[in-house]
Structure 1
Amino acid sequence: MALQIREADIQDYADILQLHGQVHEIHVEHRPDLYRSAQSTLDLHYFTELLNDEKSKILVVGNDKLVAYTILKVQEAPNRPILVPRRSLYVNDICVDEACRGKGIGKLLFQKVKDYAKSVGASSLELGVLAFNERAIDFYHAMGMNVKSVRMELEIR
């Protein structure tokens, strides 16, 4: 049976929480200066707000069990004379279950995200990825994404 992609609902919280925890632990492992382990990495109140926010959308992939999800947010450029008015779709989170990676699920979900971006009139699809996450960076490049900006840091001790 083919995997279904659909909008999330409140019943998906537990599965999304489990997937979110996988991504969070990768961040804890590579950037313990920024992230720490937590019992719950996705607050239920925040999740509910996302479900009810007209500018947000959560998509899930799976049948009986979810194997991937993404959290999307439509963003408008600030109304300033120096900026071109534009709408973008920002990918807050995207995750494929670690046991299912490399099977084309990410590509399938990413195509659905691009389709959604077009449907809301976005002129671009944007996301942030930490520099250590080379696997994700390679995936995004393979999906046609390019580097837009570089955020740098200097640790002060």
Structure 2
Amino acid sequence: MSNEPDDVTNEIAGNGDNDETQSAAAGVHIRRAAPRDIPQLHKLLREVLEVHHRGRPDLFNTGVTKYTDDELAGILADDETPVFGMFAADDATLYGYAFCIFERHENSHILTDITTLYIDDICVDESARGRHVGTALYRHVLDFARESGCYNVTLNVWSCNPGAQAFYERMGLKPYKIGMEQIL
């Protein structure tokens, strides 16, 4: 996966109520993404890129792909980089995904040796927004992280994407570090 942080696209406006999320998710399921899902993953990855490009055209290209098919296949095959997707009941339509990366700081002199599940990228298809897909995916990632013995879940959000930041705050995330820049 890239070292560049990604964030959620302008996400759902759900209130996070669990019963509502479950009813909104009727007829869908979340599973690990597989190589057969690569074309749909590319589509959503382009949606994320366009959100970032609109917010920061000085940093993000447009009309390109983040990964090659081979790179995506490698990510999907690696248990250290799980990718989860929410699919229609017939498994033919991808409504959203969460790209994750296990991070550890073994043998660090300054950081404790914990396991973190870093969410590199969450995206909900534009046509599925407002249906609590992002909430369901995020909760699935939290459950997966707990089951995997993680200490925490982290992510980065671009300041040009306030909708994503608001979504993450509704999910209970709090800032733990802040990136800053000065354009020259």
- The match for 2:45 is 20
How far off is 1:39 after superposition? Answer: 3.8
- The match for 1:82 is 110
C-alpha distance in structure 2 between counterparts of 1:82 and 1:47, whole Å: 33
How far off is 1:109 after superposition? Answer: 0.7
Relative to the length of structure 1, the TM-score reads: 0.94
C-alpha distance in structure 1 between counterparts of 2:69 and 2:93, whole Å: 19
Equivalent position to 2:84, from 41, 59, 62? 59
Q: Cα deviation per residue 1:15-73 (whole Å; 9 max; x = unaligned)? A: 11101111100111111111111243332122111112221101111122111011111
Report if aligned partners of 2:105, 2:112 keep a CA contact under 8 Å in 1. Answer: yes
Equivalent position to 1:127, from 146, 155, 158? 155
The 4+ residue runs of structure 1 with deviation greater than 3 A are none
C-alpha distance in structure 2 between counterparts of 1:52 and 1:78, whole Å: 23
Superposed counterparts of 1:31-110, under 5 Å: 31-63=56-88, 64-110=92-138
The structure showing larger relative contact order (alpha-carbon pairs under 8 Å, at least 6 residues apart) is: 2
In angstroms, what is the RMSD of aligned CA positions? Answer: 1.2
Partner of 1:48, secondary structure, is: helix
How far off is 1:126 after superposition? Answer: 0.4
- The match for 2:20 is none
Relative to the length of structure 2, the TM-score reads: 0.81
Between the two proteins, what is the percent identity of the paired residues?
Answer: 29
